[in-house]
């Protein structure tokens, strides 16, 4: 037979034309002798049958409107892709039918994308000068440009299927919300990848004795550092594993979403190991310590909840739970979700059939050896013919070159790719069945499980794939388990809404002995935050005109609200509203506010922004932007700023002081007025969901450059456990100040902008509620010394202070040593009283909860001059009890301030 080899791309050609879209003359051969049941050889318009599949023609793409206001405004994309995490970052899958219809090879247009952040921008003229290194435990460290990689090393081309470890996660999220976003069944794609075999590069670098892992790091700068991960060195050195450093995809340079200009591609393992925008290869003795290697792509034990996982750093670091090889999986692509098939009579007595079709894959080089179909929920099974288009590449002759790389497949037994299955079933049998389910098995006899293994990240979901069959008047309608992202639909969602238990082992169906009527779930209470009578559309320019502190308009979910009437009444103080002026605060509002607060919103609703408006179009102009984070004051009321976690200091079994280094080090102060708070924002590394809470940091010391926050780590606390799980060096976001109270000094205070002079503070606190009290007390105690040094100058003396600190046991008392020091420095004007609700026998202080009897003994009735303020901060029950007690003792509401 005659085989025409494809040309090697010329380095003299422009980078954008580095690869031809298609070879000019495809190899042609008669393959009748090789055909097997289920094989479909690709046939083209000239009627020829090619030796192996070539990529479909890609579509012309452009930058989409939704990307124009994001950091990805340079990336051209296909509008058919389904966005799983909103507009940005870009995490997408194709519609399942479109993906299947493209065939064995997926164009860059429909190939799934998993991006953790912005796509690095690399201009075409810079592609060949892109540098990466091979370093670490090697005798011969290497630095190469892409040009040198192509000129110096043999190039290979392999067909490889990549699969996101979250493929089919939406099914897990229906059962119970995981920490991952909702992939459908199209988080899988196949392409022809061209590059250099990783074993060749490692052999040149010469790993040293003791090296066991290869780490990869990309150029995508993320909140938790650059994305990176690792695999075992012996895998990376094994040619049969097929790992490569790739620079081409389907005969073209890499698309930006797929790693332009250079990436790792690892067959048979989860896509999260195939690092894009490759900059570093590091040979090490231990697995990667990269944040994303530790806190992503893991299957934790089923009993660990998302809340529990936040406080289990050792569990996350346990390599036994890290995912490498894919598990065996499959899906039904046809019939599609919602597809209907008419039940009309066939002519000539022929039996009418429907052809079910789908895909399957395995991991670690294993081959899918069977695909089984059941119409009676697993009592009986049928074998479906399976085709392996990957095998066609093995038939290419030695030395075959495709897209500039040797098609080095003939000798390999390892399977790098997905396969396809089909089965014709009589419509009469489908009409009798309630559902159709499939399962695949690989050559190690591992078969897909019947039931789901739920885990906190929702990865590697591979139970039997079930499509429900609905009988309608003259047709059959098919219903898949879920639809991706937030798209409604699927039998799992329907059954759960109807009150069925989808984890009962029978897909939510009622079994003998169960109640005949399903227990209906109480529908979620929808709180409307809009006034339905308001129909006004507000332009961006009009909105910006009302972005001042005295005319504070703000946006939540595309709706405009006027906070002017609520400035005095807001529980968090007027600054909470003025800081929001001119901002889209959807994320912050929804993360912080209660259902009661949301129910109040229609009162302040004044209009709607145009649909095309994004948060970016509301951004401040360059002249209005706040100053750089390197300025003298760290905090800014309208801008989130980052500081690095530098220390965790335990001060009790469940409480720590978290220290953050400010960007400008010792030249920078926090910039927080006494008595006010700041906001801390964390993001879930997978879902990017924001968690925002308000805290009062500890007072700054004289050296500056650091922010210290005392935090009690609660078992169910998203923020506190999230902070506790962060590694040192991790960036955390802050914004502020916020709060309605400020201590100005000399007994002068400001409450919601109104001045007040105080001669005595009563500070009631419990647990970590000591922090705002501690800040005010510290400022007052400093004034004691200053007033002693400058007595007789006519100024009013600082206020007296009494601190009532209630806790459960003695070990729960926080900052006790510091409070004792302040009491001593107060010279009799500062008194600290402790009471314990569950003291041990050795406790000599007060016993019991903080109640009216305690307040009457230690504080007494309100003074006639109303020059005393009660500051309260603690658990909700304690604050509620304190309010009732003081009001019952005759204190006025305006004399009580709750932090």
Q: Which residue's structure tokens are 């204190």? A: 891
Assess whether 215 carries a catalytic annotation: no
Strands 868-873 and 896-898: parallel
DSSP state at residue 552: -
Q: Report residue 813 as tokens.
A: 């008392």
DSSP assignment, residue 146? H
Cα distances from 55 to residues 22, 114, 187, in angstroms, run 8, 21, 19
Query: Which of the residues 167, 297, 579, 807 is marked catalytic?
Result: 297
For residue 291, the Cα-to-chain-centroid distance in whole angstroms is 13
Catalytic residue among 67, 72, 91, 164: 164
Catalytic-residue membership of 501: no
Strands 800-807 and 830-836, bridge-based pairing: parallel
Q: CA distances (Å), 220 to each of 1, 37, 224, 270, 726, in order? A: 47, 45, 11, 19, 20
Residue tagged active-site, from 220, 296, 408, 584 = 296
- For β-strands 188-197 and 213-222, DSSP reports them as unpaired
The two structure tokens encoding residue 545: 């005109």
**Separation of alpha carbons 42 and 63, rounded Å:** 32
Q: Edge-to-edge strand order for the sheet containing 741-745?
A: 741-745, 748-751, 754-757
> Which residue has tokens 């501690």?
774
Helices (H) and strands (E) in the chain, counts: 20, 43
- CA-based Rg of the chain, rounded to a whole angstrom? 33
Give the SS3 label for residue 602. helix
Classify residue 505 as exposed, middle or buried by CB count within 10 Å of its CB (0-12, 13-18, 19+): exposed
Sign of CA dihedral 822, 826, 827, 832: negative
Shortest CA distance to 116 belongs to which of 181, 185, 184, 189? 181
Are the CB atoms for 457 and 324 separated by under 8 Å? no
- Name 727's Cβ contacts closer than 8 Å, sequence gap at least 6: 291, 294, 313, 645
- Cβ atoms of 404 and 10 within 8 Å: the answer is no
- State yes or no: 873 annotated in a binding site: no
> Does the bond joining 726 to the residue before it have cis omega, within 30 degrees of 0?
no
CA atoms within 13 A on the CB side of 864: 0
Q: How far, in Å, CA of 367 to CA of 362, rounded?
A: 6
Residues whose CB falls within 8 Å of the CB of residue 206, separated by 6 or more in sequence, listed in order: 138, 139, 140
State how far the alpha carbon of 15 is from the alpha carbons of 9, 153, 257, 370, in Å. Answer: 10, 18, 17, 44
Work out whether the CA dihedral 870, 872, 876, 877 comes out positive or negative. Answer: negative
Percent helix / strand / coil, the chain, rounded to 5? 20, 30, 50
What would the two tokens of residue 890 be?
A: 């005759």
Burial class (CB in 10 A: 0-12, 13-18, 19+), 377: middle
φ/ψ (deg, to 5) at 156? -130, 155
* E strand or H helix that includes residue 491: helix 491-497
CB 715 within 8 A of CB 631: no
Number of other CB atoms surrounding residue 759 within 10 Å: 16
> Can you give the three-state secondary structure of 640-670, one letter per residue?
CEEEEEEEEEEEECCEEEEEEECCCHHHCEC
* Residue 112 burial (C-beta neighbours within 10 Å; 0-12, 13-18, 19+): buried
Q: Is 297 a catalytic residue?
A: yes
Secondary element (H or E) of residue 149: helix 146-152
Active site residues: 164, 296-297
Write out the binding residues: 164
Write out the binding residues for Mo-molybdopterin: 164
């Amino acid at each position: 037979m005659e085989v025409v080899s494809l040309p090697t791309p010329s380095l003299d050609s422009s980078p954008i034309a580095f690869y031809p879209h298609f070879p000019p003359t495809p190899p042609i051969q008669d393959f009748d002798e090789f055909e097997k049941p289920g094989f479909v050889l690709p046939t083209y318009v000239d009627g020829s049958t090619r030796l192996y599949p070539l990529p479909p023609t890609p579509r012309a793409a452009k930058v989409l409107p939704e990307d124009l206001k994001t950091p990805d405004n340079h990336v051209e994309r296909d509008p058919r892709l389904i966005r799983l995490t909103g507009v940005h970052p870009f995490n997408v899958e194709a519609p399942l039918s479109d993906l299947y219809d493209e065939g064995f090879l997926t164009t860059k247009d429909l190939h799934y994308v998993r991006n953790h952040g912005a796509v690095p921008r690399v201009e075409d003229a810079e592609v060949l000068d892109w540098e990466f290194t091979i370093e670490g435990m090697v005798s011969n460290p290497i630095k190469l440009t892409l040009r040198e990689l192509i000129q110096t090393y043999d190039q290979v081309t392999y067909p490889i299927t990549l699969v996101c470890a979250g493929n089919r996660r939406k099914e897990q999220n229906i059962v119970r919300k995981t920490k991952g976003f909702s992939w459908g069944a199209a988080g899988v794609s196949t392409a022809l990848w061209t590059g250099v075999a990783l074993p060749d590069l490692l052999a040149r670098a010469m790993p040293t004795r003791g090296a066991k892992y290869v780490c990869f790091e990309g150029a995508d700068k993320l909140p938790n550092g650059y994305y990176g991960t690792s695999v075992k060195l012996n895998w990376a050195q094994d040619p049969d594993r097929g790992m490569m450093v790739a620079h081409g995809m389907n005969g073209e340079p890499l698309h930006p979403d797929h790693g332009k200009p250079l990436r790792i591609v690892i067959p048979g393992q989860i896509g999260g190991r195939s690092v894009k925008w490759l900059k570093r290869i590091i040979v090490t003795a231990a697995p990667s310590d990269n944040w994303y290697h530790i806190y992503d792509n893991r299957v934790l034990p089923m009993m660990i909840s998302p809340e529990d996982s936040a406080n289990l750093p050792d569990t996350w670091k346990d390599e036994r739970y890290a995912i490498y090889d894919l598990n065996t999986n499959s899906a039904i692509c046809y019939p599609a979700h919602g597809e209907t098939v008419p039940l009309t009579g066939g002519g000539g007595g022929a039996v009418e059939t429907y052809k079910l079709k789908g895909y399957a894959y395995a991991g670690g080089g294993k081959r899918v050896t069977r695909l089984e179909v059941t119409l009676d929920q697993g009592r009986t099974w049928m074998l479906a013919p399976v085709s392996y288009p990957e095998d066609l590449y093995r038939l290419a002759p030695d030395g075959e070159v495709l897209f500039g790389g040797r098609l080095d497949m003939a000798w390999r037994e390892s399977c790098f790719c997905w396969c396809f299955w089909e089965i014709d079933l009589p419509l009469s049998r489908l009409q009798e069945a309630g559902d159709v389910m499939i399962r695949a098995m690989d050559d190690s006899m591992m078969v897909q499980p019947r039931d789901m293994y739920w885990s906190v990240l929702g990865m590697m979901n591979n139970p039997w794939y079930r499509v429900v069959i609905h009988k309608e008047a003259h047709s059959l309608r098919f219903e898949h388990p879920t639809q991706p992202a937030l798209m409604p639909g699927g039998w799992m969602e329907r059954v759960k809404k109807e009150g069925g238990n989808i984890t009962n082992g029978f897909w939510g169906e009622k079994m003998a002995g169960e109640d005949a009527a399903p227990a209906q779930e109480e529908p979620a209470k929808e709180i409307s935050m809009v006034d339905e009578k308001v129909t006004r559309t507000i332009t961006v320019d009009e909105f910006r005109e009302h972005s001042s502190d005295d005319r504070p308009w703000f946006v939540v979910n595309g709706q405009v609200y006027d906070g002017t009437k609520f400035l005095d009444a807001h529980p968090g103080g007027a600054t909470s509203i003025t800081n929001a002026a001119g901002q889209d605060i959807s994320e912050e509002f929804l993360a912080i506010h209660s259902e009661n607060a949301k129910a109040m919103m229609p009162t302040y609703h004044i209009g709607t922004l145009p649909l095309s408006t994004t948060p970016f179009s509301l951004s401040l102009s360059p002249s209005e932007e706040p100053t750089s984070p390197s300025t003298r004051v760290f905090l800014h009321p309208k801008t989130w700023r980052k500081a690095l976690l530098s220390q965790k200091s335990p001060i009790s079994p469940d409480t720590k002081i978290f220290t953050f280094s400010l960007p400008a080090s010792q030249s920078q102060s926090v910039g927080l007025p006494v008595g006010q708070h700041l906001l801390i924002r964390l993001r879930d590394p997978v879902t990017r969901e924001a968690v925002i809470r308000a805290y009062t940091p500890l007072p700054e010391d004289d050296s500056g450059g650091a922010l210290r926050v005392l935090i009690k780590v609660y078992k169910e606390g998203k923020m506190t456990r999230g902070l506790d799980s962060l590694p040192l060096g991790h960036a955390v976001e802050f914004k502020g100040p916020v709060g309605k109270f400020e201590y100005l000094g000399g007994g002068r205070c400001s409450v919601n902008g109104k001045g007040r002079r105080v001669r005595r503070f009563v500070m009631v606190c419990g647990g970590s509620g000591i922090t705002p009290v501690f800040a005010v007390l510290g400022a007052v105690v400093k004034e004691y010394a200053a007033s002693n040094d400058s007595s007789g100058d006519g100024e009013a003396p600082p206020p007296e202070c009494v601190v009532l600190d209630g806790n459960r046991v003695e070990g729960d008392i926080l900052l006790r040593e510091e409070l004792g020091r302040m009491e001593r420095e107060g010279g009799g004007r500062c008194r600290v009283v402790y009471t314990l609700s569950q003291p041990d026998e050795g406790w000599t202080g007060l016993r019991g909860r903080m109640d009216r009897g305690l307040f009457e003994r230690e504080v007494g009735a309100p003074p006639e001059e109303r020059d005393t303020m009660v500051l309260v901060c603690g658990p909700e029950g304690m604050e509620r009890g304190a309010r009732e007690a003081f009001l019952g003792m005759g204190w006025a509401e305006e004399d009580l301030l709750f932090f």
